[in-house]
Amino acid sequence: MWGCNYIGSGMGHWVFGGGIIGFGITVLILALIGLVFIQLYKSGKNRTQYSDTMDSLKILKTRFARGEITEQEYRKMRDILCKNGTSK
């Protein structure tokens, strides 16, 4: 009424225009941004777990090289560490 666009047509009601299409595009873009952040969070979490396991294996190899643990103990601990995250 009197030149105002209150029915949803025109630009400005949503990021990509008014109406159901503009709303749908806005929701889709926000969902994609959310998925990107979730994937970044997960990849950072996996990288930390991999790093922790590799540090543990390095310590284990050092202890074996010093003779602090036997070969059986070394293999058993290595298998446990590798089962929880990385390869040998």
- pLDDT, tens digit, for every residue of 50-75? 566 678 888 889 989 999 989 999 99
The structure's pTM equals 0.39
Is 76 contained in some domain?
A: yes
For residue 26, what are the contacts with CB-CB under 8 A and spacing of at least 6? 14, 15, 16
Structural domain span for residue 39: 19-83
Residue 88 lies in a domain: no
In a domain, 55, yes or no: yes
Residue 7 lies in a domain: no
Domain contains 5: no
Structural domains counted in the chain: 1
With a CB cutoff of 8 Å and minimum separation 6, the contacts of 17 are 10, 11, 25
Question: Is 11 domain-assigned?
Answer: no
Render pLDDT for 7-66 as a digit per residue (tens, 0 to 9): 555 555 556 666 788 788 888 999 999 999 988 887 766 655 556 667 888 888 998 999
| Whether the Cβ atoms of residue 54 and residue 46 lie closer than 8 Å to each other | no
Instruction: Give me the pLDDT at residue 44, please.
Output: 67
Do residues 10 and 45 touch, judged by C-beta distance below 8 A?
no
Q: Is residue 59 part of a domain?
A: yes
